[in-house]
Amino acid sequence: MSSRKKIDSSPETTEDLERLQLQGLRWTVEHAYNNNGFYRELLDGAGVVPADIKCLDDLRRLPFTTADDLRKGYPLPFLSVPEEEVVRIHSSSGTTGKRKILCYTRQDVLDWTDFFARCLEMAGVGLGDRVQIAVGYGLWTAGAGFQAACEKVGAMAIPIGPGNLGMQCQFLVDLQPSVLCCTSSMALLLAEEVHRRGIADKINIRRVIQGSERCSSAMCRAIKRLMGAEHVFDITGMTELYGPGAGIDCEHHSGVHYWADYYILEVLDPVTLEPVEQGQTGEMVVTTLRKEAAPLIRYRTRDLTRLLPGRCPCGSIYPRHDKILGRSDDMIIFRGVNIYPGQIDEILSAVEGVSSEYNITIDRRGGKDFMLVRVERAIEGDPSWDEETEAEIRRGIKEEIMVSAEVQIVDYATLPRSERKSRRVFDRRSD
Ligand code: ZN
């Protein structure tokens, strides 16, 4: 089989979707096996040949891949086409060691643009919209992805990039963009700046599309309130899986619709690698269905989420997963209990009188783990309520996560803000 894939276009029913998935899965396994030495060795090692893939359940016979495998194939890992067919590369910062570099064929770029444009359509962005794209351009996937999708749906792209709050505010006023795309940290920072400058009534942002990090309900509310936006959408994705645009929530905000005709999502127990019980949280493992240059087979993303059952009220056939709860790498083991920062921010989101900003410090005192959660008071919060609020949060953490934590309310805007991803956890136990 050639490296050119032959997959039908967008599905209209769930049956179409399953047919496409099987077609794509068989193509991907054959393509990777025939055109990439690493994959051939991996599949041979697992005793699987492409002809073994007869139904979707056969996915479970396939071996896993990880970020470590990307490092082994540096600089063009998983390359499964002749190099001259690669038209672009993107890169993300590796947390340790070398960067991850992923490559794309011409068709990969078109496919990515296609499903990214679906994200914008689902978020109600199209003709007549002006989109301030405040994410990284260059090697990063985000800028290029938003830009191409924006142009595909016929909106006007404003490729401003991240940072520079002064210029961001000036563009918000002068160009009247209706859509803002950025990380949730950046959205909050910009919303606070808009508030500080008192220009909320001079701007026209209706929709915010935020990605690359978790946006708690409280953060969402703050962004909407300070900027006067109607909707904040969560866009998902990662460089290995083309880039952002792998899924987005619709206006019902009842989970993230993901493009199951481009990849299969499994949610597995990160320890046993078996499927979790329905509705339980586990690690997202993805298998691409059409990716030519660098296909993924059961790639462990380390992101944690759960699948949501049933059909969304919007009627879309695309399945949904919950908000990303965090990364398995961010998991804190505290007195034997597994804790994700996402659990803490959901508790805080239900508390009145606090802002969305918090951080967690873990320490050892007298041989015992000790957790301090610092939370900012809301912008108009009353300090005389601090003691009661602290007690409420302590109770919430005890009830939801079953651990004891110290809680301290601090003044608004005293915790550090970031234009990229905010650091939430400071583990000082090994210091
Ligand atoms: Zn929906």
Q: What is the CATH number of the domain that holds 283?
A: 3.40.50.12780
> CA angle 157-133-196, nearest 5°?
125
Distance (angstroms) between ligand 1 centre and the Cα of 198 equals 34
- As to burial, measured by CB atoms within 10 angstroms (0-12 exposed, 13-18 middle, 19+ buried), residue 141 is buried
Distance (angstroms) between ligand 1 centre and the Cα of 424 equals 30
Distance between CA 223 and CA 209 in Å, rounded?
Answer: 11
Query: For residues 123-140, b (16+ Cβ closer than 10 Å) or e, as one string?
Result: bbbeeebbbbbbbbbeeb
Where does a domain end: 293, 328, 363? Answer: 328
Distance (angstroms) between ligand 1 centre and the Cα of 321 equals 11
pLDDT surpassing 50 at residue 30 = yes
| One domain for residues 365 and 397 | yes
Whole-model pTM: value is: 0.85
Residue 51: Cβ within 10 Å count: 10
Q: Encode pLDDT of 76-119 as tens digits.
A: 999 999 999 999 999 986 555 678 899 999 999 999 999 999 99
Q: Encode pLDDT of 338-382 as tens digits.
A: 788 788 888 888 898 898 889 999 998 888 889 999 999 998 889
The CATH number of the domain holding residue 383 is: 3.30.300.30
| One domain for residues 219 and 266 | yes
| One domain for residues 274 and 341 | no
Of 243, 230, 12, nearest in space to 119 by CA: 243
| One domain for residues 254 and 365 | no
pLDDT at 8: 55
Distance (angstroms) between ligand 1 centre and the Cα of 37 equals 40
pLDDT at 4: 57
Distance (angstroms) between ligand 1 centre and the Cα of 251 equals 7
| One domain for residues 261 and 379 | no
Distance between CA 72 and CA 146 in Å, rounded?
Answer: 30
Give the max Cα distance, the chain.
Answer: 71
Of 343, 354, 358, nearest in space to 425 by CA: 358
Running DSSP on this structure, what letter comes out for residue 275?
B
Distance (angstroms) between ligand 1 centre and the Cα of 252 equals 6
pLDDT at 2: 46
Q: CB of 296 within 8 A of CB of 288?
A: yes
| One domain for residues 155 and 276 | yes
Who's near 353: CB < 8 A, 6+ residues apart? 377, 378, 381, 382, 385, 389
Distance (angstroms) between ligand 1 centre and the Cα of 257 equals 7
> CA angle 396-398-404, nearest 5°?
125
Distance (angstroms) between ligand 1 centre and the Cα of 312 equals 5
Q: Which range is least confidently modeled, 142-146, 154-158, 227-231, 350-354? A: 350-354
Where does a domain end: 311, 328, 345? Answer: 328
| One domain for residues 374 and 228 | no
Distance (angstroms) between ligand 1 centre and the Cα of 233 equals 12
Distance between CA 93 and CA 248 in Å, rounded?
Answer: 23
pLDDT at 1: 43
Residue with tokens 């985000």: 142
Distance between CA 177 and CA 208 in Å, rounded?
Answer: 11
Distance between CA 78 and CA 89 in Å, rounded?
Answer: 13
Q: Omega into 75 within 30° of 0, i.e. cis?
A: yes
Distance (angstroms) between ligand 1 centre and the Cα of 248 equals 9
In total, how many domains does the chain have? 2
| One domain for residues 147 and 259 | yes
More confident residue, 183 or 332: 183
| One domain for residues 260 and 136 | yes
Residue with tokens 């599309």: 209
Quote the tokens at residue 20: 């496409």
Where does a domain end: 279, 297, 328? Answer: 328
Q: Work out the end-to-end distance of the chain between its first and last CA atoms, rounded to an integer number of angstroms.
A: 55
Distance (angstroms) between ligand 1 centre and the Cα of 281 equals 20
Distance (angstroms) between ligand 1 centre and the Cα of 346 equals 22
| One domain for residues 251 and 393 | no
Q: Encode pLDDT of 227-283 as tens digits.
A: 999 999 999 999 999 999 999 999 999 999 999 999 999 999 888 899 998 888 899
DSSP string, 226-246: HHT-SEEEEEEEEGGGTEEEE
pLDDT surpassing 80 at residue 174 = yes
| One domain for residues 292 and 178 | yes
Distance (angstroms) between ligand 1 centre and the Cα of 260 equals 14
Q: What are phi and psi of 216, to 5 degrees?
A: -70, 165
Running DSSP on this structure, what letter comes out for residue 199?
-
| Total residue count of the chain as it appears in this document | 431
| One domain for residues 345 and 320 | no
Q: Which domain holds residue 406?
A: 331-427
Distance (angstroms) between ligand 1 centre and the Cα of 313 equals 6
Quote the tokens at residue 336: 């034997």
